[in-house]
Amino acid sequence: MSKTFPPQIKIPATYMRGGTSKGVFFNLTDLPKEAQVPGPARDALLLRVIGSPDPYGKHTDGMGGATSSTSKTVILSKSEMAGHDVNYLFGQVSIDKPFIDWSGNCGNLTAAVGSFAINSGLVDAERIPENGHAEVRIWQANIEKTIIAHVPITNGQVQETGNFILDGVTFPAAEVQVDFIDPAGEGSMFPTGNLVDELEVPGIGTFKATMITAGIPTIFLNADEINFNGKTYNGTELQEAINSDADALIMFETIRAYGALKMGLIESLEEAADRQHTPKVAFVAKPADYVSSSGKNISSSDIDLNVRALSMGKLHHAMMGTAAVAIATASTIPGTVVNLAAGGGDRQSVVFGHPSGTLKVGAETELKNDQWIAKKVFMSRSARVLMEGWVRVPADN
């Protein structure tokens, strides 16, 4: 007698682009009861939605895009935090492992949180103007921080179309300004207490490193100090130059693990494998001409520095939003490797080059009681609904 298989279940969901990422968005109350709380049931459901783990690395049987930028899930709920509209929980889904990293935020998808919250009725109607910008107050539940999204509104509806160009995104859309409030929080944003450390990585080298926790824990290195297997770096690399080099990827992951240990994020090197989303590792360089992945000529005169960053073990095609927060913060603090690559001194913003083009970010930082404080980081992104309806997964998932 043949086995009888249960039918698929369907769950209301919205597929959205936010910044240079895209993911599947859910209203918490639309999830099955067992997935409305953290735990194995939730993780198993979201893994199946994305199509992970996929040994083929394609996400053919799921909603994921088989890259760190497109293997993402978001759960939103009405916030009970005073002065906030919505709680935002982000899950970074591993492509080839049965694992979801809940340790950090996605700054790019933050740009889509406001519009999803408004469209889902999670923002009180009186807070939405007929025309102008709705100020959506977001509680980022992963890192327990406040983010403000300024969502454009036309005739009472979220405005998604426009002429704002974001390098790394093919088509123009409406601009969404995102403010990250107090992105470093309590304590020093420099876990080691230093603006620059000597990071020793056995078998690879010793690097000047700025290790900062702002937006997301990030390890910044100087590109010209990276020399491994006879290969040197200059900060103008595109994805293919690194992602096709297995030795380079192992090198960067090793650096990331030792940096995580020095930052106190893990207690042993082995733990780094279970903390793939954080910290990030990035390398910086002084301005230099290059041709972006879209064929656009980037002139050194148009940027303050070049930055390349890795996410989930691969060079990112543009720049993670949370890493951009770290870049903005570090660039305004004299003496960090980011600030020095940008020319040093006092500054309030930088334009940096990344594989897809350029991005301007700014920060308000101050030195108070011998400790640097980040009051606010701001940048512009865009967002758009790609599809809405139901996502289906096997009932016996």
The residues that are catalytic are: 106, 320
Look up residue 120 and give its amino acid. S
Backbone conformation region of residue 370, classed left if phi is above 0, alpha if psi is from -120 to 50, else beta = left
The two three-digit tokens of residue 272, written as one number: 């780094």
Q: Could you give the CA distance from residue 93 to residue 374 in angstroms, rounded to a whole number?
A: 29
CA–chain centroid gap for 12, Å, is: 24
Q: Where are the alpha helices (DSSP H) in the chain?
A: 40-50, 107-119, 239-243, 246-263, 321-331, 337-341
**Could you tell me how many residues make up the chain?**
397
Q: Could you give the CA distance from residue 185 to residue 196 in angstroms, rounded to a whole number?
A: 20
Q: Could you give the CA distance from residue 169 to residue 294 in angstroms, rounded to a whole number?
A: 10
The two three-digit tokens of residue 103, written as one number: 């340790």
Dihedral, CA of residue 258, residue 263, residue 267 and residue 269, to nearest 10:
-10
Q: Could you give the CA distance from residue 167 to residue 290 in angstroms, rounded to a whole number?
A: 14
Taking CA atoms, 202 is separated from 9, 22, 279, in Å, by: 50, 37, 19
